[in-house]
Chain A
Amino acid sequence: MKTRVALLGTAAALAMAPAMALAERERGSSGHLNIIYWQAVSTMNPYLSGGTKEMNAASVVLEPLARFDNLGELTPWLVDEIPTLENGGVSEDLKSITWTLTEGLLWSDGTPVTSADVVFSYEYCTHPEGGCSYRDRFAGIERVEAVDDLTVTVHFEDVTPNPYLPFVGAGSVIIQQAQFQDCLGARAPECTDANFAPIGTGAYAVSNFRPNDVIEFVANENYRVPNQPYFETITWAGGGDATGAARAVFQTGEMDYAWNLQLAPEVIAQMEAGGRGELLVDFGPLMERIELNFTDPSPDLPPDERGTRAHPHPILSDIRVREALSRAIDRELLTEIGFGPMGMATCNFIVAPPAMASPNNDNCLVQDIDRANELLDEAGWERGADGIRVKDGRRLELLFQTSTNAVRQDFQALIQADWREIGVEARLRNIDAGVFFGSDPGSDDTYLKFFADVQMYASLFEGTDPTPHLEQRRCGREPQPSTQWQGQNINRYCNEEYDALWAELNREADPDRRQELVIALNDMFVQDYAHLPLVARGRVSAASTTVGGIVMNVWDSEHWNQAEWYRIEE
């Protein structure tokens, strides 16, 4: 674990080494690079897909105005500087932000990049019939205005303390107006050529795209850094499974870079011993958790009241039971078995960025069966004949659901065993991921309806600002019949203090105070045992030892600095 973080550190240091050493390298001097994505890329237009793999592949072609670097800091990308209050880029009333494009930027077809392209990208994604996956990045915008050829101003409808959502990060890229202007709205999917080979400003251009199979890239001749990218061509293969991808990097050396290797720790460890590659791990906001239902999911209730706040949960409304469930779980063991070096046991709701992660909740990391038993005794749950606790004739039995996935089923089995020790019976259920994570209001099996007592899944947020993520747990944001079961307050948490604190955060512009508020909100939520954080999950990729310049980034695309990757000469 430590050695890997250190390795990442050196990789970062390498990338940031003085330009002196890198200047010798020529564009295309490193030859060919092989990347494997075992879940193949289905389109090159991130606006039409929303998947991480598509976003990553598109990020070597299409770029935003600014990116997050590997530390989560905003970095100017197609602009010279980040607009702030200090430099006047962000207006005093926090209602607009003005970006100025770098001069002389060219698309890969040689035409200049103008502010009109930026405005067009906004129009493309916000078209009501387009079904753009990153529509929320452009939420709350009144209009986007091209001031002159290189200047563009985003006007927000409201005070927006964090104006760095539109055109920032790999999900909010600039597309070329000339190429996409006939592809607005319902016509978007018809522009297959454009969607499969968008013209971009990035280091590479698509030379061949086969959906769900393979992409071939060539270096962009018009890339703004004259001697980059170092690799002339890239083959971005897809298909197979995570094991095969890992094997291709670690053992056979067929591939140079493999993405998303969620494999059993022992498998990874054994492959790594091959010595041809190294594992790249970094932790972002992705966290595996158990949600505890605050409402009664009993099927005996009328359909429009089941799982709503009208009926509090008969067992889980008691904080002592919730705490006992949390204490009984051996998080370190879960991490070791399920994720190994790719996970960290956690007790926090907001696990990243590091500055936002609360230091106050480490008490849950150690399993404490005795304390858990005490809590349940206090709460009046007595052991029954079969060891399962009973209170007022009701068995302490919980329906535990999750999506169908080998690691999750292992976790279910382990947690079931932990809970049995404190006299809690968990009935396990797993649901196909396509159904579980679907948003079809007609299905009773979605994680949104949550017709179970506890459920496990992983969730995360985009970018570095947890405000919208914290917002989800406000009262009234829960899925309910009146909202077609849409909403992200999955556990139906409702706490006025929390809501008030969040409102304060949403108005606050001072970064230090924001950080305090985020931690306070996190602590309030977690110490209420409103849900049980389990494991913070890292992004895991593998790179061949012959490729240098890779800097793992969890805040943006993993390929954010693709131009700087190079082949290490023997």
Chain B
Amino acid sequence: MLSYTLRRLAFAIPTVLVISLIVFLMLDMAPGDPTGSLPLTIPLEVREQIRQSLGLGDPVMVRYFKWLYMMCFVEPLHILAGLTGWDIAPEGPRILSWQTRSPVGDILVQRVPQTLWVVGLGYLFGILIALPIGVISAYRQYSWFDQAGTFVSMIGFSVPTFFTGVVFILIFSVWLGWFPSMYDTTHVVRDWNSFVFQAKQIAMPVAVLALFNASQISRFMRASMLDNLNQDYVRTARAKGLGEKTVVLVHVLRNSMIPVVTVIAIGIPTVFTGAIITEQIFRVNGLGDALIRAIYVSDWPMVQTITFIFAILIVLFNLIADVLYGILDPRIRYD
């Protein structure tokens, strides 16, 4: 198991590096010009100087290795130093966002909490709703509950989040006025009232994400339960006279959870990237929002960094999912 994990890890690192190179080279060919979003009153000579000061003079590979070094060592150390207060931040240049002319790492540190709150809660609620629905749907296959559940979950992942989001805003924010239409990042939860405010401002994005995630996971749960319910060991358990509750909730559920857990693990990074649109609609100042705005103004260092982080997340969670699968399912043995 350990050697398998190590082997997977050894493969993960080159994967991440190749991805970073692909993204870097692609952005290097970009036709967008970081000075293109500046007002036209700024003369062209000045624009050229700005381009030079952004470090666009070096050859591509030099810039790539500089960026990679900063991405892998300088920025993490700075972030760690910022979080712990230790004096470990190295000297020297950092990855600078062209738009803000400030280190990308610092901006990400400010953006991550919002994304984690909204996306994390959306995912968590999604799972919490999905599991029972999936179990009951499978157990009572073709019952009205199953039909309704299947229909709702079909709708849940067929209706794009940008449509549900817009409809939610129209109904709950504009017509009913229940929730604020803007996310306030400076808000600090101190007491009950401020907690209520926080709950209100994340309610809509969380609801949209939860609905979407729940519909996907519940379908997996249902399928996995159905697979197991037909197995011989279930018949054996019933034959032994075990209570239906024990059979379903102990034997079947535990076995059915194995693939679902891995699906949940694999889904975590997709949720991050998928939440880009949700963040955009509800004006949550998270990572996805930072990415979109950076793309709009051709702020390539920012785009590179965020894409790279997403890639790391995906590779990492795929790895976790595989390892989890091995641990949870005694029938699987990697060697």
Contact = CB atoms under 8 A, between A and B. Distances in A.
Interface of A: 36, 40, 42-43, 45, 48-52, 128-136, 186, 188-190, 192, 195-196, 208, 210-214, 216, 235, 237-241, 244, 247-248, 251-252, 254, 432-440, 443, 445, 448, 457-462, 486-488
Contacts of A460: 39-41
A488 B36 CA distance: 15
Contacts of A248: 181-182
B37 to A, nearest CB: 6
Interface in B75-125: 93-94, 96-97, 99-103, 106-107, 110-111
Contact of B46 (A132, A188, A457): A132
Closest 3 CB pairs of A and B: A438-B33, A131-B53, A438-B36
Interface range, B side: 35 or more
A434 B296 contact: yes
A467 to B, nearest CB: 14
Contacts of B54: 131
Interface stretch (B2-10, B230-238, B282-290, B310-318): B282-290
A192 B94 CA distance: 11
A108 B56 CA distance: 36
Contacts of B46: 132-136
Given A213-B185, A247-B174, A461-B41, 17 more contacts: A42-B97, A43-B101, A131-B54, A135-B49, A190-B93, A211-B99, A237-B182, A239-B289, A241-B283, A244-B283, A248-B182, A252-B180, A434-B297, A435-B33, A439-B51, A487-B44, A488-B44
B102 A131 contact: no
B280 to A, nearest CB: 9
Contacts of B293: 40, 212
A189 B96 contact: yes
A49 B101 contact: yes
Interface in B281-331: 283, 285, 289-290, 293, 296-298
Nearest to B186: A214
A212 B286 CA distance: 11
Interface in B165-193: 174, 177, 180-186
A459 B186 contact: no
Output the residue of B93, B100, B177, B293 with the most chain A CB within 10 A. B100
Contacts of A244: 181-182, 283
B329 to A, nearest CB: 44
B186 A208 contact: yes
25 contacts: A130-B53, A133-B50, A189-B96, A189-B101, A192-B103, A211-B102, A211-B106, A211-B110, A212-B100, A212-B290, A213-B285, A214-B285, A235-B186, A240-B283, A241-B283, A254-B181, A434-B33, A434-B296, A437-B36, A438-B31, A438-B35, A438-B36, A438-B298, A460-B39, A461-B41
Contacts of A195: 101-102
Contacts of B332: none
Given A212-B107, A434-B32, A254 B48 contact: no
A446 to B, nearest CB: 8
B14 interface: no
A239 B33 contact: no
B31 to A, nearest CB: 5
A325 B180 CA distance: 48
